[in-house]
Amino acid sequence: MRFPMISLTLAGALALAGCDSPSLLSLDPAVTDQDAVFDANLLGTWQTGQGGDLCIVQRNGSAYTVTYVSDGSSRKFDARLFAAGQASLLDLSPQDPDDFQVPAHTLIRVWTAGGTLRWAFLDSPWLHEQVARQLATRAGNNGKIVLTAPSIALRGFLAQYAADDRAHGDVTEWQRLQ
């Protein structure tokens, strides 16, 4: 099977977002290094609730390294920020190399304001309907949808739909610690 360990990527992205489960993944990145933008407002250590999980966002060239820490364990991700219409999106993929894992990309909409970072998976039943009509996909495990469309088609799609509030799931809020 072409997607044997995609669940590892899902588990990491699940943990990173706090509670929601992404069901829309892409085989190709949605952003190129040349199109990636940098926002210093994302940098820092973020926490969910009192004594909750931590998310550490560090600069890595024109991109970010995101480290999620929960219950004494951590997981690292590569992330690139880009604009899709009026939306700011992170293209998130696992950093851990594994020959038996397809490094899927999860798309996350982000909003920053002062000491608050809000984000949500770009994933909703409404968006799934739009995807089914316009992009190449394959069914993944457990009802997941794997986008197989090339990056350029994905970027065009996101420019049209990403800023719509119907395109994302539940929003998770993080508070800046540092």
The 3-state DSSP class for residue 96 equals coil
**Does residue 115 sit within a domain?**
yes
Reported pTM = 0.84
Provide the 10 A C-beta neighbour count for residue 37. 12
The 10s digit of each residue's pLDDT in 12-52 is: 444 444 444 578 999 999 998 889 999 999 999 999 877 78
Q: What is the extent of the structural domain holding 52?
A: 6-176
Please give the share of the chain, as a percent, with pLDDT higher than 90.
66
Number of structural domains in the chain: 1
**Does residue 1 sit within a domain?**
no
User: Residue 116 and residue 143: Cα distance in Å, rounded?
Assistant: 32
Element (H, E) at 129: helix 125-134
- Residue 178 pLDDT greater than 90, yes or no: no
The per-residue pLDDT of the chain, averaged, comes to: 85
69-73, 97-101, 107-111, 157-161: the lowest-pLDDT one: 97-101
Q: Which of 59, 60, 58, 77 is nearest to 14 (CA)?
A: 77
User: Residue 7 and residue 9: Cα distance in Å, rounded?
Assistant: 5
